[in-house]
Structures are given as C-alpha cells and as structure tokens.
A and B are shown apart, each in its own frame.
Chain A
Amino acid sequence: EAGVTQSPTHLIKTRGQQATLRCSPISGHTSVYWYQQALGLGLQFLLWYDEGEERNRGNFPPRFSGRQFPNYSSELNVNALELEDSALYLCASSLKTGGPAGNGELFFGEGSRLTVL
C-alpha cells in the first residue's frame, strides 16, 4: 500500500513568488494535515482538512492557504513568499476516527523542502 506522497521534493523560489505543494494521502484516509518544520522550531501546525473542508488552521498569515480535493488529495499554497518561509513542509494523513474510539495516528510523507532566496 502506498504511503503519503508529496511533491515536489524540493522547490526553490524567490521572494514574492508563489509556491504550491501537493500531497496524496494514504488510500482511505480522509484527513490531511500540513505542518511547517523550520530549522529549530519543531513542527508548527498549519492546516487540517477533512472531507474537503478546512477544519482548523494554525497561527499563520492568510497567505498560507490550501484546499482538499474530492479524492482527498490536498494542495498547500504560499503566496508572497518571504525568506522565513524556507522550511520543510510535511503532509500527514489519518482516518477520520477521532474521539475515544479513534487511534488518531498520523502517517507522514517525506516532505517538500521549500527554499526562498
């Protein structure tokens, strides 16, 4: 069974440009999460999508946005890139099983490394 796949693996942009990152969840998973992993800052929660809807977002400016498609794949868009947006962007998927009956396990992709020059 294929795991979570992310593309591109690496992306180099310049300040002010836009970046689009893509994620395909594990088959059968309806929830997709996006995290930013900047050097020394751990994982910062960006966005959570489930069943095509944005369920929650972290403390990031509106230029970070995304969407989830009917096949549950997802896209993260970062507009007006700034130097501090350089980071590894991780996508994770899970079954929508939350609550006491759920196992809540996240399955991560290998990430997309965005470099802003």
Chain B
Amino acid sequence: AQSVTQLGSHVSVSEGALVLLRCNYSSSVPPYLFWYVQYPNQGLQLLLKYTSAATLVKGINGFEAEFKKSETSFHLTKPSAHMSDAAEYFCAVSETGNQFYFGTGTSLTVIP
C-alpha cells in the first residue's frame, strides 16, 4: 500500500536559514514522488518531482529534494529561506502515475 508521512505539521525557520521539510513514503514498487506547495487560498502547485531519473531533483524557487531508497525518504530542502516561501507543503507518492496519495502537509513559517 502507498502512503506518505510528513514529519512536523508546522515548521518555523528564520529568513535566510536552511529549510528542511521531511517526507517518508511507503511503496511496494519504485514510486513517483512529488512535492507541491499551496499558498493561502490557492490550489496546489508542483515544486518538483522524482520519476526514477537523478536522485537529486531540483525544482522551482530554489527547492530541491533527494530520493533515498534505503531510507524511503524524499526530504525537501532550500539553502536560504525567503519570506515568500511561507506556505503549506505537501509530499505525494504514486506507484502508477495515475493514483496519488498525499501527506497531511507541513506549514512553513518564515520569521523575519
């Protein structure tokens, strides 16, 4: 069965500090993995995706994530947080590419 666990429903970082949002997945086959961002009162926007190519995936707005099979993890990082990064972040997994399971989300607060 597919599932996603996002550790930490709320994360606060100072502006300019490292952002680390954690995601662990469960899948019986090599999965597709995604990170989406949701700004207030908006839908979700794709940040980046892993589709079995390079294990280090670069996305938009300076975010990247590393697929670690041994740890079943796909953590999202950004070297330096910006005020505009404040949003809700969702990790998602798909085994088939057409059924998607989302984590419960992590709310990122950036402190000036």
Which residues does A use to contact B, with CB under 8 Å? Answer: 4, 31, 33, 35, 40-43, 45, 48, 50, 55-56, 90, 92, 94, 96-100, 102-111
Contact = CB atoms under 8 A, between A and B. Distances in A.
Interface string B39-51: 0011111100101
A104 B34 CA distance: 10
A100 B96 CA distance: 7
Interface stretch (B17-25, B64-72, B75-83, B97-105): B97-105
Contacts of B42: 110-111
Interface of A is mostly: loop
Interface magnitude class on chain B: 20 to 34
B51 A103 contact: yes
Contact of B103 (A35, A42, A98, A109): A42
B103 to A, nearest CB: 6
Contacts of B98: 31, 48, 50, 55, 94, 96-98, 102, 104
A105 B46 contact: yes
Nearest to B41: A110
